[in-house]
Amino acid sequence: MKVISRLFLLLIYAFLYVPIIVLIIYSFNNSQYSMLWHGFTWAWYQQLSSDSDLISSAVNSIALGVSASSIATLLGTLCAVSLYRYNFKGQKLLYFTVFLLILMPDIVIGTSLLILFSTANFELGFFSLLIAHITLCLPFVVIVIYSRLTTVDENIFEAALDLGATNSIIFKRILIPLLTPGLIAAWLLSFTLSLDDVIISYFVSGPNFQILPLQIFSMVKLGVDPEINALTSIIFAITVLFVLISHFSLRKK
Amino acid sequence: MKRYQLIIFAVLLFLMNSFCFADSKELNIYVWYNEIPQSVIKKFEKETGIHVNYADYNDNEVLYAKLKADPNSGYDIVEPSSYFVSRMSREGMLQPLDKQKLYNFKYIDNAFRNPNYDANDTYSIPWMWGMTGIFVNKQFFNPNEITSWKDFWNKKYYNQIMLLDDPREVFNIGLLTLGVSPNTNNLADIKAGYENLSKLLPNVKLFNSDAIPSIFIDADATIGMAWNGDVYRAQQENPNLVFIYPQDGFVIWVDCMTIPKNAPHLANAYKFLNFLMEPENASKVTMVFGYATANAQAKNYLPKAMQNNPTIFPSDEILKRGIFQTDLNNQALQAYAKYWELLKLNA
């Protein structure tokens, strides 16, 4: 029985990680199109380093991801805290509309934002993408932070009030430190969502701000370039590094 | 607190303005993936000082939907395929070109002027063209035994043939083998084409339009329909591939440069179009991509091996069998959608 459960676990992990490993292996394959092994090469990494177009869309994507996830984390945290700590009119409604956004298909968000931007004569580009990605990430942030808040003992707040703390001190000294792991998780989740979104971005992207997922998507018909494999391998390595750093820095505390 | 809000608001406003009133030394192009090489764009930027914002797509529908959803999307040059030129010009999405300003139009090959999809070249400049024909891997099949689309129906190709995952392309075969024009709007003809294709299904191994060259090179499919440029690029890695121009006719598509309505940088767009039509610049697309340029003079800038390669440039005699693809009316498109679904369900 134990063997079977081990095997099952192994299969699940293989299912999740084999595609990524294959992609990394192909980034070293010495062939432009073929999916068979033609020997080891660094050529795609070299070619990538001189491909200014691809690098600039990768930089754009990362800049967009960082700003969208930071703003979404900030707004989402405020939203979750107010939903949790205070009672006000329309609270239930607010709660459900946030969760409704998670279930909303991307294509609905994308088209409705595009219609909004085009009726408001808002130029499509960095800011339209930023607003769209904040909308996309916000509900996920709220969920992560809210579920973290529900694990906090409510008596802490009363004790703090008893000792003369004001609401802003409670927020700064108690809530933020308790929420830190949740904040990091929410930020990383938002960043990933923003980085790989194709559908919403397709609608609201403009001519002067090209981002990576859309560029990769347009390559599919020809067979994805090994340069893309190289780029995604680098991004994967950075992600792993990120996760490791956050893991160890949190454990020390 | 109020003051902070004001400052943030002012900064945001400033940033937005700097984006809205973008420098007029800019050009926004939206074209088929890979169809304008980076080197050409770099050269244009260097010569004129105009910054090019480049974006690409891999499906006419993607371009069409984007422009339809937001007519002010800000693109200066877009590149629909021939039959989409007629649809988009009919729906008022493109603007007529001012021939006076296009002094390099003289280099365009006569065979591509005044085409059936755009009379008098009102809206479009032909840029790149290709054909859908038959590919065969000669390690597996004898290419001399396959001369026309009809041969696909031969029992010996049971479960071997690759078809493109594209309704227009597949119906072209069904109609051409019946001797009907692939541009027909006649519903009875389309139905007959469907019934004809149903008989082909046992021979079909897969429908696919993605990552085509790797399938050819690795011999995952060894016979089927293909675009000539894909076969040319695959031949560089697998010399066993052969491209055949079918006897019963084949379809020619042309990807065209056009200027959409409301293009914000019109003067720069004309500069860029003239630049693209310079023979040396036009030759670069064939060099990189393996599809033929519609520029008559550009051929001279290519290596001899490419100029004489029949997979890229077929002889005039072969070209006579080619048919330009045109747009269909809505009824015909609906019929295509219906029969395509039925076909894929039975596959």
Pairing of strands B125-137, B250-257: antiparallel
Predicted confidence band of residue B21 (pLDDT cuts 50, 70, 90): very low
From the list A52, A86, A205, A80, the residue with the least C-alpha distance to A142 is A80
For residues B275 and B281, what is the distance between their CA atoms, to the nearest angstrom?
7
B55 CB neighbours in chain A (<8 A) are: 205, 207, 210, 214-215
Joined tokens for residue B28: 């926004």
Pairing of strands B161-163, B77-78: unpaired
Residue A5 has pLDDT above 80, yes or no: yes
Residue in B19, B28, B212 nearest the CB of A223: B212
Query: Would the CB atoms of B70 and A207 count as touching at under 8 Å?
Result: no
Query: pLDDT tens for residues B215-236?
Result: 999 999 999 999 999 999 999 9
Could you tell me if A104 and A168 are in contact, meaning their C-beta atoms sit under 8 angstroms apart? no
From the list B74, B116, B129, B100, the residue with the least C-alpha distance to B273 is B100
Query: pLDDT tens for residues A155-185?
Result: 888 899 899 888 889 888 888 899 998 998 9
pTM: 0.81
Contacts of A116 (CB under 8 A, 6+ apart): A122
Residue in B16, B74, B234 nearest the CB of A33: B234
Residue in A117, A121, A223 nearest the CB of B211: A223
Query: Would the CB atoms of A220 and B38 count as touching at under 8 Å?
Result: no
For residues B114 and B116, what is the distance between their CA atoms, to the nearest angstrom?
7
Query: pLDDT tens for residues A29-42?
Result: 888 887 788 889 99
Query: Would the CB atoms of A208 and B16 count as touching at under 8 Å?
Result: no
Residue B18 has pLDDT above 50, yes or no: no
Query: pLDDT tens for residues B60-116?
Result: 888 998 898 888 888 999 999 999 999 999 999 999 999 999 999 999 999 899 998
Residue in B33, B210, B214 nearest the CB of A34: B214
Write down the pLDDT at residue A138. Answer: 94
What does the mean pLDDT of chain A come to? 89
A107 CB neighbours in chain B (<8 A) are: none
Residue whose token pair is 């059936």: B116
For residues B288 and B309, what is the distance between their CA atoms, to the nearest angstrom?
15
Q: Which residues of A87-99 are buried (b: 16+ CB within 10 A; e: fewer)?
A: eeeeeeeebeebe
**Alpha carbon separation from A53 to A121, A200, A210, B52, B336 (Å, rounded):** 28, 22, 9, 11, 38
Residue B196 has pLDDT above 60, yes or no: yes
Joined tokens for residue B100: 């006076």
Predicted confidence band of residue A216 (pLDDT cuts 50, 70, 90): confident
Query: Would the CB atoms of B69 and A34 count as touching at under 8 Å?
Result: no
Write down the pLDDT at residue B4. Answer: 61
Write down the pLDDT at residue B288. Answer: 87
Q: Which amino acid is at B291?
A: Y
- Best probe of the B interface among A48, A107, A123, A127, by most B CBs < 10 A, is A123
Query: Would the CB atoms of A223 and B22 count as touching at under 8 Å?
Result: no
- Best probe of the A interface among B64, B217, B272, by most A CBs < 10 A, is B217
A168 touches chain B (CB under 8 A): no
Write down the pLDDT at residue A252. Answer: 60
Residue B13 has pLDDT above 90, yes or no: no
What does the mean pLDDT of chain B come to? 90
Residue A221 has pLDDT above 80, yes or no: no
Q: How far is B158 from chain A (nearest CA, A)?
A: 25
What's the angle, vertex CA A199, arms to CA A198 and CA A200, rounded to 5?
A: 100
Query: pLDDT tens for residues A91-112?
Result: 889 888 888 888 989 999 998 9
Residue B10 has pLDDT above 60, yes or no: no
Write down the pLDDT at residue B301. Answer: 94
Q: How far is B187 from chain A (nearest CA, A)?
A: 30
A223 CB neighbours in chain B (<8 A) are: 210-214
Predicted confidence band of residue B20 (pLDDT cuts 50, 70, 90): very low
Residue B19 has pLDDT above 70, yes or no: no
In chain A, the percentage of residues whose pLDDT exceeds 70 is 98
Query: Would the CB atoms of B210 and A223 count as touching at under 8 Å?
Result: yes
ipTM entry: 0.73
Query: Would the CB atoms of A220 and B73 count as touching at under 8 Å?
Result: no
Range of weakest confidence among A12-16, B8-12, B176-180, B329-333: B8-12
Write down the pLDDT at residue A243. Answer: 82
Q: Which residue has the higher pLDDT, B171 or A152?
A: B171
B67 CB neighbours in chain A (<8 A) are: none
Q: For residue B264, what is the DSSP state?
A: S
Residue B27 has pLDDT above 50, yes or no: yes
Q: Is A95 helix (H, G, I), strand (E, B) or coil?
A: helix
Query: Would the CB atoms of A118 and B72 count as touching at under 8 Å?
Result: yes
Mean pLDDT, residues B334-346 taken together: 92
Mean pLDDT, residues A37-54 taken together: 87
- DSSP β-bridge partners for residue B131: B252
Computed from CA positions of residues A207, B166, B224, B308, in that sequence, does the dihedral angle turn out positive or negative? negative
Query: pLDDT tens for residues B234-290?
Result: 999 899 999 999 999 999 999 999 999 999 999 999 999 999 999 999 999 999 888
